[in-house]
Structure 1
Amino acid sequence: MSKPIEDYALVGDTHTAALVARDGSIDWLCLPRFDSPAIFAALLDTEDAGHWSITVADQVGEPTRSYIDSTLILVTTFRGPSGTATVTDLMPLERTLDVDDPTPIRSDNALLRLVRCTEGTVDLEMKFSPRFGYGHDEPTLDYRDGDLWAEGESLSVSLRCEIDLEIDGGTARGAFTLSAGESRAFVLQVNGVEGIGRLLPEDVEEAITTSTRFWRTWLGRCTYGGMWAAEVRTSLLTLKGLTYSPTGGIVAAPTTSLPEDLRGVRNWDYRYCWLRDATFTLDVLLEYGFTGEAVEWRNWLLGAIRENGGDLQPLFDVQGGTLLQEREIDWLKGYENSKPVRIGNAASEQFQLDIYGELLDAMHSARRAGLLTAPDEWELEKRLIGLVLERWMEPDAGIWEVRGPQHNFVHSKVMAWVALDRGIKAVEGFGLPGDTKRWHDARTEIRNDILANGVDEARGTFKRSYEDPGLDAALLMLPMVGFVDASDDNMRNTIDAIEADLVRDGFVMRYLSPDGLPGDEGTFLLCTCWLVDNLVMVGREDDARAYLDRVLGVSNDLGLLAEMYDVRAGRLVGNFPQAFSHIAVAAAAMAFESRGQTPTIHRESQWK
């Protein structure tokens, strides 16, 4: 039986991440990178798909847990009949002393666990059961030079520990007893990685110290002290934990196929980097002082596009690769029998007009923050503007990547307008060369087209698409990107209509229109935060605060959020933890600091 998504904690090393359940079982881990095949996949099946557990015999009560302050190092406390023990989980990492340069982060390609008895005596059991290839391949475990080896087709790992193990096929078990003050350490590490030393159990405590220093040094640059300081810091740590530091790419989530609709088919692989996330991510990083990460994220964006001949697809892998062919894995039952389980993502093959505007807005945000635009970068931006000029009239799959027929989505057209607008501002505000006459004319044409075809005259609201008069939460982006003022009559009506039609129990749905897939989905936490931003802009701060508190109220005990919240089931749904949800929380908290200015205007005034 699947555990609630809320039961999981994230530990990571800015190369990959693991999900640790409240009961002490590691149920998801891809090695050596986020998008590598999982060696523990119980998250999407049963224990038979691979896990690594440490449990206390005859456990008393529910375990409690927390992160070591200002880190992603997890400490879980278990109670037995005659004592208490803690399990500390981490993926070790360290960096140079240059806190403004995120790239030298070194990963040991390891997952460490330290068990310590803090009171009385505790009996414990460790069960190590890796399954390579997303739970498909059971390895034969064997000892080599004192290490327990597990070898798959393209990966081998070693377990090093201080207890005796019994091996049964692809599973190793060990029982041990600890008294107060005693501890045992466990090291799981990828074999044969050049330049990475072999970690031993006696190295674990030092690794905890080193990793703690890393996380605290990194987070120490955040000076935000507002009402939601703790939640913002958690969101920033999560965002860092989802960053692939060798390139600066940020994955949408470390998981695949956690369902948007429990026991349904809306299950997608989010272990990739979406261009659409660029503007939001860059703005949040810059707003909170993480300029180095913002530079690396921008460089990843530019590098991914250059490496692929200037082509723009909606998402790439963490190294900028484009081969993300979607396939289904039939041997996994899926989370709570939600099938299919998918690897890869066919959205990479869609035409999504809005990403041009997202990317050019991100580049403009970087310029406003003082990051220089190299000549070849500007040539690339001009090429993208040219593509917008050629294709803005075409229907597309839109921000929500619909798998049904394409439409002329209003949000997509607005982002085409943004692409031209940011190009014009780059020329007029930063002295870069460009055909502003043509761009001005096209920007005006797009705007007039939207106002002629994208407004429901009967309701006085913006429409989801030219073909569909329904509502779409993506319309909340219109004032956030400067297309209209939030006090514009059509925009105010749209905000009111979204509250009336798309809000469920204090959370915002994306849309109600058919999208080519069966089933329903949960409310979208990102969209709820967009509503917060809009309400702040129109002066409804008390209402905005109530919506943001609702979002934060459904995070788990560690402050982590999934993509969606199912109000009927009262549960988080979708991939977890979700970068976009945490970016949106950090952005919404900052919206209260700008007191009603649009984010674009706020950033302009702050960075001039």
Structure 2
Amino acid sequence: MGNAAIADYGLLADGRSAALVDRKGSIDWWCPERFDAPSVFCRLLDSRGGHWWIRPTDDFEVRREYLSDSLVLRTVFTTAYGEASVTDGLVLEPGSRGHEIGRRSPGVLVRVVEGGSGTVAMTMSYYPRLEYGRRTAYLVPQDGTVVATAGPSSLTMTAPVPLTCSDGEAAARFTVGPGERKTFVLAHRPTYHDGPPAGLDDRDPLGDTVEGWRSWANLHTYPGRYPELVRHNVLVLQGLTYQASGAVVAAATTSLPERIGGDRNYDYRYAWLRDFSLTLRALWVAACPDEANRLFGWVASAVGQVDGEPVPVMFGVEGERDLTERRIETLGGYADSSPVRVGNEAWRQRQLDVLGEVMDAAWQLRDYLDPMSPEIRDLLRALADQAATSWRDPDAGMWESRDADRHYLSSKVLCWTALDRAIRFGDRLGDAADLARWAAARDEARETILRDGWNAGVGAYTGAFGSDKLDASVLLMPIVGFLPATDERMRATIALIEEQLSHDGLLRRWDTDPAAFTLCSFWLVHCLVLTGERDRAAALFERIAATANDLGLFAEQIDPDTGEHLGNFPQAFSHIGLVVAAWELTDAPEAALTEGEP
């Protein structure tokens, strides 16, 4: 069987990892130890990579949805003979609620098959392939369970039906009638760790998990437009958070391609400072500010003492810095798009925009960082100092160019942002000499950007000094308050970017980008609001929001011609963009922005 479309997948999460299940009931991705750990199912990246499907034997139609305010997914299969459902969830720690959910999740995947009408014949295939498909597990039936062991990991499946084990696969055929329920439980543990899988309520094995998710969602009240969309998208961001540390991964997957057959296939299961800061802004919008001190504390711990070295741009979910990239030669890649990569060499890059993004998030959440811990103060001071000395330097930019460093305009603008916000903090961060030094650097950076960033021949601010190429990241200029969107040159830039990089509202990062970048499309919405075109911005927002899959999930990019989702999935950037754009469209007075204070 070929790959499911990226948009066919649903997300399951438990605060330490994620699983993806397609519309046909196949779990094709799960890294149970943590987001960036080796997989036990990775059919997503190769048909031989391992799977666990439960589906009707006969032809079927599908409808599916999340149980309200949760990441527990119910898929309903309708055949000519009746209807049956499969409810899937990664189990949260029993009894955990609110901000504590997911911090000690047990690594258990539950699938509940229920009969609706008629009698439905079902088939199950369980084929774990551990360590990115390198290991075929040895299956051992034991007292109603099947234990799969391969090296350091063991999986214990409890099944309510007889299983046939052969060549690393456990298979079954069974039927369900009205009111019948069959619960399958798969528990992961280290091979050399004693202890049984976590106990579950036999009557409602996912009920406590659903209540855990709802308890988190109910802590937050969003007062703006599109409340249901915002509520769901923030829940997805929570699902992409490694709860033990607070780190937010960029996506749940590795190596899903930006272009089918292309080689820009990277591992996004890590925490970028850029994503962290934008996530904080989205959580602020959705009235979830209580996470601020905890998440900033994680960043301060992960970054550590800067000591004049470039600020690291990304980390493992527990703060690891060395994310050396390697290729998994045993996997052919999604739709034969190789290579499959684990690790990401971007950890070695200088990306100056992160200075402004983290500082801007701190300014947005300033009331919740008061009193400010010494660690956070030291971090913010270091960011300002580095922006003051490094804004003139070339870097890899926010799109993480791997060919050569350049003087990217968005990097310069976000260094200006770091300095501007540091000055606004005043004596909470520095003394009079610090503030004067930061102000001098800020003013020099602004003058240079206005002079060297404008390309008169193009009639726009371009992506890098001396370049004639448009870049959607330039839309950040009015968003961070560097220039009013109504400034003559800024308005011309927004119009030209929309004209040349947009297709029916979906915006590419540059003219050769293989598909539209979802976050940039939401940036265009934001800019239209700032130019006063609120009705057109709302129409564009709704058009972009409608490109999500049936579960409200976005990949990194969308092909504007076909609507196909591309890149890693689900992508935190895309969901952040929706949340922030919804807030900018809110008519409430408190949603209005002043230049320089987003």
SS in 1 for 2:115: strand
User: What is the correspondence of 1:444-455 to structure 2 with a 5 Å cutoff?
Assistant: 444-455=443-454
Percent identity reads 38
The equivalent of 2:70 in structure 1 is 71
Residue aligning to 1:421: 420
Alignment of 1:292 onto 2:255: no
Letter in 2 for 1:233: R
Aligned pair count?
594
**What does residue 333 of structure 2 align with?**
334
Question: What is aligned with 1:563?
Answer: 556
Report SS of the residue matched to 2:123.
strand
Letter in 1 for 2:67: I
- 1:588 is aligned to 2:581: yes
Residue 403 of structure 2 is matched in structure 1 by 404
Matches within 5 A, 1:178-577: 178-192=176-190, 198-199=197-198, 203-224=201-222, 226-306=224-304, 312-427=311-426, 430=428, 432-433=430-431, 435-512=434-511, 520-577=513-570
Q: What displacement does 1:570 show?
A: 2.6
Q: Deviations over 1:43-75 (max 9, x none)?
A: 1111x2100000111133x21111111111101
The reply on whether 1:51 has 2:51 as its aligned counterpart is yes
- Name whichever of 80-89 and 122-131 sits farther off: 80-89
Q: CA deviation at 1:485?
A: 1.1
Secondary structure in 1 aligned to 2:109? strand
Alpha-carbon separation, structure 1, partners of 2:593 and 2:196: 47
1:543 and 1:88 mapped to 2: Cα distance? 40
Amino acid at match of 2:536: D
Q: Call closer, same or farther: CA 1:119–1:96 in 2, change over 3 Å.
A: closer
Mark the CA change 1:194 to 1:418 in structure 2 (over 3 Å): closer, same or farther: farther
Question: How far apart are residue 307 of structure 1 and its match?
Answer: 7.8
Does the Cα contact within 8 Å between 2:97 and 2:216 map onto a contact in 1? no
Tell me the amino acid that sits aligned with residue 56 of structure 1: P
Counterpart residue number, 1:516 = none
What do the CA deviations read for 1:98-155 (whole angstroms, capped 9, x no partner)? 73x4477431211000001111212111111000111121111112454311112221
Distance 1:602 1:20, change over 3 A: farther
Q: Calculate the TM-score normalised by the size of structure 1.
A: 0.93
Cα distance per residue 1:433-487 (max 9 Å; x no partner): 3611111111111111111211113444212111212211111111111111111
Alignment correspondent of 1:148: 146
CA 1:15–1:77 in structure 2 vs 1: closer, same or farther (change >3 Å)? same
In structure 2, relative to structure 1, the CA distance for the partners of 1:294 and 1:600 (3 Å cut) is farther
For 2:394 and 2:160, the matched residues in 1 are separated by: 61
Tell me the secondary structure at the aligned position of residue 136 of structure 2.
Answer: coil
Look up the match of 1:517. Answer: none
Deviation at 1:4, TM superposition (A): 0.8
Contact residue 248 and residue 299 of structure 1 kept, 8 A: no
Does the CA-based 8 Å contact 1:536-1:592 persist in structure 2? yes
Choose 572-581 or 172-181, whichever is displaced more. Answer: 172-181
**Matched-pair contact (CA < 8 Å) for 1:357–1:418:** yes
Query: What's the TM-score, normalizing by structure 2?
Result: 0.94
Does the 8 A contact of 1:260 with 1:521 survive in 2? yes
Over 3 Å counting, the alpha-carbon distance change for 1:145 and 1:57 in structure 2 is closer
CA distance in 2, matches of 1:433, 1:204: 62
Aligned counterparts of 1:308 and 1:331: Cα–Cα separation in 2: 39
- Residue 139 (structure 2) pairs with residue 138 (structure 1): no
C-alpha spacing 1:420/1:125, structure 2 compared with 1 (3 Å): same
Asked if structure 2 preserves the Cα contact closer than 8 Å seen for 1:407 and 1:467, the reply is no
Deviation at 1:417, TM superposition (A): 0.8
Distance 1:20 1:159 in 2: 17
CA contact (8 A) 2:129 2:135 kept: yes
Counterpart residue type for residue 420 of structure 1? L
Question: Aligned partners of 2:102 and 2:335: how far apart in 1?
Answer: 40
For structure 2, which runs of at least 5 residues remain unmatched after alignment? none
Alpha carbons of structure 1 residues 371 and 188: separation in structure 2 relative to 1, 3 Å:
farther
Deviations 1:522-570 (A, max 9, x none): 1011000000001011111121112211211111111111111012333
Aligned partner of residue 511 in structure 1, secondary structure: coil
User: Does the aligned pair in 1 maintain the 2:296–2:376 contact within 8 Å?
Assistant: no
C-alpha spacing 1:195/1:280, structure 2 compared with 1 (3 Å): farther
Q: Equivalences for 1:31-110 in 2 at 5 Å?
A: 31-46=32-47, 48-60=48-60, 62-94=61-93, 99=98, 101-102=99-100, 105-110=103-108
Instruction: Tell me, yes or no, if the aligned pair for 2:482 and 2:596 is still in contact at 8 Å.
Output: no
Asked if the contact 1:59–1:78 (Cα under 8 Å) also holds between the matched residues in 2, the reply is no
Mapped contact 2:482–2:595 kept (Cα < 8 A): no
- Secondary structure, aligned partner of 1:207: coil
Instruction: Identify unmatched segments of 5+ residues in structure 1.
Output: 514-519
Q: Are the aligned partners of 1:57 and 1:80 in contact in 2 as well (CA < 8 Å)?
A: no
Q: Evaluate the alpha carbon distance shift between residue 158 and residue 600 of structure 1 in structure 2; reply closer, same or farther with a 3 A threshold.
A: farther
Q: Give 3-state SS (helix, strand or coil) of 2:548's partner.
A: coil
Contact kept? 2:222, 2:287, Cα under 8 Å: no
- What is the SS of the residue equivalent to 1:487? coil
The code of the aligned residue for 1:70 comes to D
Q: Measure, in 2, the Cα distance between the counterparts of 1:98 and 1:124.
A: 35
Q: 1:98 to 1:433 in 2, by over 3 A?
A: farther
Conserved in 2, the CA contact under 8 Å of 1:464 and 1:472? yes
**Cα offset for 1:284?**
1.4
Equivalent in the alignment of 1:161: 159
Cα distance in 2 for partners of 1:226, 1:387 equals: 36
**3-state SS, counterpart of residue 478 of structure 1:** helix
In 1, Cα distance between equivalents of 2:116 and 2:595 = 50
Cα distance between partner residues in 1 of 2:389 and 2:526: 32
Asked if the contact 2:92–2:102 (Cα under 8 Å) also holds between the matched residues in 1, the reply is no
Cα shift readout 1:338-376 (whole Å, capped 9, x = no counterpart): 111111111111111111111222222221445431223
Distance 2:94 2:354 in 1: 33
- Go from structure 1 to structure 2 and tell me whether the alpha carbon gap of 1:461 and 1:387 turns closer, same or farther (over 3 Å shift): same
The residue type equivalent to 2:574 in the other structure is S
